[in-house]
């Protein structure tokens, strides 16, 4: 069996993989939701847009649910502290997500313009709010979150909901929203043709620029204006997890330390740029499938950048730095981590395989003719 | 008005879980009916069976959407509202939830897309395979959720660690093959099968009463009657098995269900009806059948079943032992090298949870008075009357459904059921029964676990997040508001499509093609 320290790092990577998987898979559905009211001008066009993700959004959403489950199983303290601390933000995400299953399934079941328009906005909210809030959450993680533990590891959040909406966090929210809309736009361009495709491409250009600018601005801000965190006591990676056993200090520029220590990690922010630019260029030359995967690379790059900047921190505490949660001290037991690793390695390839099959079965452009022919079964 | 975080969190969980469980049983059961209908189509090639799969599938989809919507809430709530619980048992409880996602929910959710959209793109056999995989995924989901839940009822394969201040997994196989989880799984999924069967049976009966889509409705009725009869038999047999495992792991719950205040000489008698009085801790009156309880609860005539007063007396001792464990734990948390305290903790660790019950009355458990200990011992007994009546209502409805499905199955063997309006009307009237009994079953299982979230390990009142009462009122209002609107919308769509019937498929073969 792997030693405890390696398992802790492997699970940090795996949670990262799940987050990236979520961004790529559920991300393109959510992006499609954001673009829905703008790209589809009439009911048929909107049905075309919705049906590009119709057979897949449900499976894709499981990336999110499994991501949550994996954090619960691997990092129970992070799950407990983040979900209860960000109480209202999490509820907003949850309530926004409510609109998706019902929106997709119920929208076209009744032929009434008001009914359909309400669900269209529901799908917009369900696609737009979660990525926005996740971006804001990452922005807050990078600045540290006001929480602390008592001696029995009961967590208390000392901040307010409004405190989460600070300028840097909002900038991160914008970057996240832009990325996800961009990704949804690229996917739409791949699965549609004609007017819808052109509108999607126009949105990709706009959101791509916001992505590149926002990411750059956030990087500069992080380097110049935001203090990072460092573990100031000796680190024992294989010790039993106890978040109160260390001391932590804040230091200017600390979030850039890992890039100096391991220069190869510079590839991550580089992929953030490269993926976005490549996706725009590939889309322009009509290679929409490759563009989708370039965009996915970009998402992985940006999420990886945030992750590596903070490593080994997951959730630093701004008010009681010693309570900060790190890769070393917020994890489950060695047995649970080992077991969950085996399960993940067994099932992840299988999931990817049948997801690929599902996409192949439903491959091809979705058109107005398709929607008309399948009037009773299509969304 | 509830004024504390614990009660409000419990209320919120109960509301959201009971609501979620309106949709889950139908999903679990309907999916197998779809498999049966589609398999008949593939084997016989008769068009009506494909239409049946598609039409009932449409209603299944409307229900499934809300199952997914309300299911996400359940996952969120452990973290948002039960943060200390999540930390304290996440090492064990999180694993089955994550495995559920990886092994079951991905499969179910990917296949459901192909089920609805793949009719023209897959061969018949491929599509049937998709439906079967969707059914397997759905049922595996229930398995993993109930493994997680079974552990809350009977926490096996885990041990408390004072260094990490939580329960840690020691034996995954024990968690997996937990008898409580297995019994619960089979009982719950077969209750789901009954729900699916009742849904199809009732609506088909309605078509038959109106003389609409007769061939379609007759075939649906037959499948539902056979499937429902088999399922209700297994619910009852497996429910009895589940009662037996409850007796093994949770004597308190069993005693409360039976309103057994005192240990009787074996074999105990069964209280058919009683009027439990919580303040006197006696039954005001009761109608008992000798021997029966002993047989159900212990499968023997010689083993005793402890009564509530005796369980309380035992628990009082465990609370006293737990006091020592809590004090020792506090000493060890202050100084990890305190070997004397460590020894005490080791000796009394199995009663730590009972010591934690005193936290309701005093922050410093060492100073607990005998009155506090008495009160805490009283707390270990859930209120008897709700348990007693929920259980009896559930069983009564089960018996009613046994009669209905028995009659339906018999009539469908004879083939004359469409000329039996009384049977058809009864089937229509029984539509709400599976839902009511499922909800009551949930109440028996989960309310009966109080005052624990993890039976004997973690008291409910220590499991909550540090939140404000205002936040909880706000979120509760949000859930109630959202859920009410969603339920109205769902019922409206269900009724609309059920009323229109298979004509909603637009095939040109049925009544009401244009009503859409």
pLDDT of residue A138: 96
Exposed e or buried b per residue across A86-125, where buried means at least 16 C-beta atoms within 10 angstroms of its C-beta: bbbbbbbbbbbbbbbbbbbbbbbbeeeeeebeebbebbbb
Q: Which residues of chain A have pLDDT under 50?
A: none
The Cα B494–Cα B497 span in angstroms is 5
Contact A361 B103 (CB under 8 A): no
pLDDT of residue A117: 95
pLDDT of residue B269: 84
pLDDT of residue A1: 66
A84, A332, A336: residue with CB nearest B79:
A84
CB B31 within 8 Å of CB B192? no
CB B90 within 8 Å of CB B166? yes
Q: Quick check: B387 pLDDT over 70?
A: yes
Contact A155 B87 (CB under 8 A): yes
pLDDT of residue A311: 93
Least confident range from A2-11, A322-331, B155-164, B232-241: namely B232-241
pLDDT of residue B250: 83
Contact A351 B106 (CB under 8 A): yes
Over range B439-468, report the average pLDDT.
94
For chain B, which residues make up each domain, given as ranges? Answer: 2-250+382-505, 260-298, 308-379
A133 vs B291, higher pLDDT: A133
Q: Quick check: B440 pLDDT over 80?
A: yes
pLDDT of residue A54: 93
**Alpha-helical runs (H) found in A163-244:** 167-191, 194-225
Over range B101-130, report the average pLDDT.
96
- Cross-strand pairs, A250: A229
pLDDT of residue A374: 87
pLDDT of residue B295: 79
pLDDT of residue B265: 82
Q: Quick check: B516 pLDDT over 60?
A: no
Contact A87 B504 (CB under 8 A): no
- Cross-strand pairs, B161: B166
pTM of this prediction?
0.94
- Token reading at B433: 């029964």
Whether residue B478 lies within 8 A of chain A, CB to CB, comes out as yes
Distance of CA B410 to the CA centre of its chain: 30
Contact residues, chain B, for A242 at CB < 8 Å: 163-164
Distance of CA B419 to the CA centre of its chain: 37
pLDDT of residue A335: 96
pLDDT band at B2 (very low <50, low <70, confident <90, very high): low
Backbone angles phi, psi at A118, to 5 degrees: -60, -45
Query: Count of A–B CB contacts within 8 Å?
Result: 246
Q: Quick check: B243 pLDDT over 80?
A: no
Over range B104-110, report the average pLDDT.
96
- Token reading at A255: 């979030």
Q: What percent of chain B has pLDDT over 70?
A: 98
pLDDT of residue B385: 92
Q: Quick check: B247 pLDDT over 90?
A: no
How many Å lie between the alpha carbon of B158 and the closest alpha carbon of chain A?
Answer: 11
Over range B171-177, report the average pLDDT.
94
Q: Quick check: B1 pLDDT over 70?
A: no
pLDDT of residue A140: 96
pLDDT of residue A262: 96
Determine which of B59, B87, B329, B467 to mutate to test the interface with A (most A C-beta atoms within 10 Å): B87
Contact A76 B90 (CB under 8 A): yes
CA torsion A353→A355→A357→A358, rounded to 10°? Answer: 170
For chain A, which residues make up each domain, given as ranges? Answer: 4-373
The Cα B460–Cα A249 span in angstroms is 36
């Amino acid at each position: 069996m792997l030693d405890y320290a390696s398992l802790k790092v492997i699970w940090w990577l795996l949670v990262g993989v799940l987050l990236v998987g979520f961004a790529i898979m559920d991300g393109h559905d959510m992006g499609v939701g954001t673009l829905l009211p703008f790209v589809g001008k009439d009911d048929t066009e909107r049905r075309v847009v919705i049906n590009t993700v119709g057979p897949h959004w449900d499976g894709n959403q499981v990336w999110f649910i499994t991501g949550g489950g994996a954090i619960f199983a691997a990092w129970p303290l992070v799950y407990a502290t983040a979900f209860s601390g960000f109480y209202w933000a999490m509820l907003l995400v949850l309530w926004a997500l409510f609109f998706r299953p019902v929106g997709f399934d119920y929208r076209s079941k009744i032929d009434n313009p008001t009914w359909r328009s309400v669900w269209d906005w529901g799908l917009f909210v369900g696609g737009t709010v979660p990525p926005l809030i996740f971006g804001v959450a990452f922005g807050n993680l990078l600045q540290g979150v006001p929480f602390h533990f008592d001696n029995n590891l009961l967590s208390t959040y000392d901040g307010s909901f409004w405190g989460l909406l600070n300028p840097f966090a909002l900038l991160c929210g914008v970057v996240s929203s832009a990325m996800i809309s961009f990704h949804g736009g690229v996917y739409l361009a791949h699965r549609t043709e004609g007017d819808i495709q052109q509108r999607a491409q126009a949105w990709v250009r706009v959101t791509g620029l916001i992505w590149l600018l926002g990411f750059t601005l956030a990087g500069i801000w992080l380097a110049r204006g935001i203090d990072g965190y460092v573990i100031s006591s000796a680190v024992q990676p294989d010790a039993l997890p106890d978040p109160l056993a260390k001391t932590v200090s804040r230091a200017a520029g600390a979030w850039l330390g890992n890039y100096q220590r391991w220069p190869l990690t510079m590839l991550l922010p580089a992929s953030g740029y490269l993926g976005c630019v490549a996706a725009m260029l590939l889309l322009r030359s009509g290679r929409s499938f490759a563009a989708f995967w370039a965009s996915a690379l970009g998402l992985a790059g940006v999420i990886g950048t945030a992750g590596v900047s903070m490593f080994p921190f997951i959730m630093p505490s701004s008010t009681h730095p010693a309570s900060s949660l790190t890769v070393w001290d917020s994890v489950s037991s060695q047995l649970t981590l080992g077991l969950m690793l085996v399960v993940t390695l067994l099932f992840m390839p299988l999931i990817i395989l049948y997801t690929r099959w599902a996409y192949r079965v439903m491959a091809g452009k979705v058109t107005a003719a398709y929607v008309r022919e399948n009037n009773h079964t299509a969304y | 008005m509830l004024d504390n975080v614990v009660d409000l969190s419990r209320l919120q969980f109960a509301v959201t879980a009971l609501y979620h469980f309106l949709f889950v049983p139908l999903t679990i059961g309907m999916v197998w009916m779809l498999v049966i209908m589609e398999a008949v189509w593939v084997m016989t090639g008769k068009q009506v069976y494909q239409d049946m799969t598609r039409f009932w599938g449409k209603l299944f989809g409307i229900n499934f959407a809300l199952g997914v919507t309300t299911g996400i809430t359940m996952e969120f709530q452990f973290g948002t509202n039960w943060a200390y619980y999540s930390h304290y048992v996440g090492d064990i409880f999180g694993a089955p939830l994550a495995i559920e996602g990886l092994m079951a929910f991905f499969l179910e959710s990917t296949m459901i897309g192909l089920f609805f959209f793949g009719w023209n793109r897959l061969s018949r056999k491929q599509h049937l395979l998709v439906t079967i995989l969707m059914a397997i995924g759905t049922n595996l989901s229930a398995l993993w959720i109930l493994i997680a839940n079974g552990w809350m009822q009977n926490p096996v394969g885990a041990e408390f660690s004072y260094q990490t201040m939580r329960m840690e997994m020691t034996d995954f196989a024990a968690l997996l093959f937990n008898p409580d989880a297995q019994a619960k799984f089979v009982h719950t999924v077969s209750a789901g099968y009954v729900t699916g069967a009742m849904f199809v049976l009732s609506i088909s009966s309605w078509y038959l009463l109106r003389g609409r889509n007769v061939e379609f409705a007759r075939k649906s009725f037959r499948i539902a009657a056979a499937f429902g009869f088999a399922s209700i038999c297994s619910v009852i047999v497996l429910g009895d098995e589940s009662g037996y495992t409850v007796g093994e792991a949770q004597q308190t719950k069993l005693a409360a269900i039976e309103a057994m205040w005192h240990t009787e000489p074996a074999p105990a008698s069964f209280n058919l009806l009683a009027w439990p009085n919580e303040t006197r801790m006696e039954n005001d009156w009761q109608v008992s059948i000798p021997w029966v309880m002993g047989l159900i609860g212990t499968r023997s005539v010689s083993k005793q079943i402890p009564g509530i007063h005796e369980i309380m007396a035992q628990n009082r001792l465990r609370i006293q032992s737990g006091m020592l464990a809590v004090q020792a734990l506090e000493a060890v948390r202050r100084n990890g090298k305190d070997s004397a305290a460590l020894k005490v903790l080791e000796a009394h660790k199995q009663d730590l949870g009972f010591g934690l019950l005193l936290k309701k009355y005093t922050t410093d458990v060492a100073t607990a008075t005998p009155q506090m200990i008495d009160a805490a011992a009283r707390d270990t007994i859930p209120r008897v009357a709700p348990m007693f009546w929920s259980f009896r209502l559930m069983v009564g409805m089960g018996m009613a459904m046994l009669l209905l499905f028995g009659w339906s199955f018999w009539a469908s063997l004879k083939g004359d059921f469409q000329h039996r309006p009384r049977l058809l009307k009864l089937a229509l009237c029984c539509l709400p029964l599976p839902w009511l009994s499922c909800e009551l079953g949930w109440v028996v299982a989960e309310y009966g676990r109080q005052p624990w979230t993890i039976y004997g390990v973690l008291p409910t009142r220590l499991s909550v997040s540090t939140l404000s009462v205002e936040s909880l009122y706000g979120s509760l209002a949000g859930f109630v508001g959202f859920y009410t609107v969603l339920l109205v919308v769902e019922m409206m769509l269900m009724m609309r499509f059920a009323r229109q019937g298979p004509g909603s498929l637009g095939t040109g073969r049925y009544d009401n093609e244009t009503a859409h």
